[in-house]
């Protein structure tokens, strides 16, 4: 039985929350998880929209890439 493991080279994750503190907590938690598989943050983009009830919805897209071994 052969078992082969391939490293994840990059991954994009999406986050949303009703306030910035929650959004930041969610992202930081995932950063910690991804460090264990040797991924670091490559880029972050974020946005805020207002729903039909006038409440903000904060979203973020985080691109994780494999850490450079240099």
20-58 pLDDT tens trace: 999 999 999 999 999 998 999 999 999 999 999 999 999
User: How does residue 5 score in pLDDT terms, banded at 50, 70 and 90?
Assistant: confident
- In this structure, what are the phi and psi dihedrals at residue 39, rounded to the nearest 5 degrees? -105, 140
Q: Is the pLDDT of residue 6 over 90?
A: no
Q: Is the pLDDT of residue 4 over 70?
A: yes
Domain ranges of the chain: 11-66
Task: Decide if 38 contacts 66 (C-beta within 8 A).
Answer: yes
CATH T-level fold of 11-66: Dodecin subunit-like (3.30.1660)
pTM as predicted: 0.82
């Amino acid at each position: 039985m052969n078992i082969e493991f391939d490293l994840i080279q990059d991954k994009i994750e999406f986050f949303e929350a009703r306030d910035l503190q929650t959004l930041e907590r969610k992202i930081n938690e995932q950063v910690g998880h991804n460090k264990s598989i040797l991924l670091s943050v490559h880029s972050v983009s974020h946005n805020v929209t207002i729903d039909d009830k006038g409440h903000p919805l904060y979203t973020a897209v985080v691109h994780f890439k494999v850490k450079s071994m240099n």
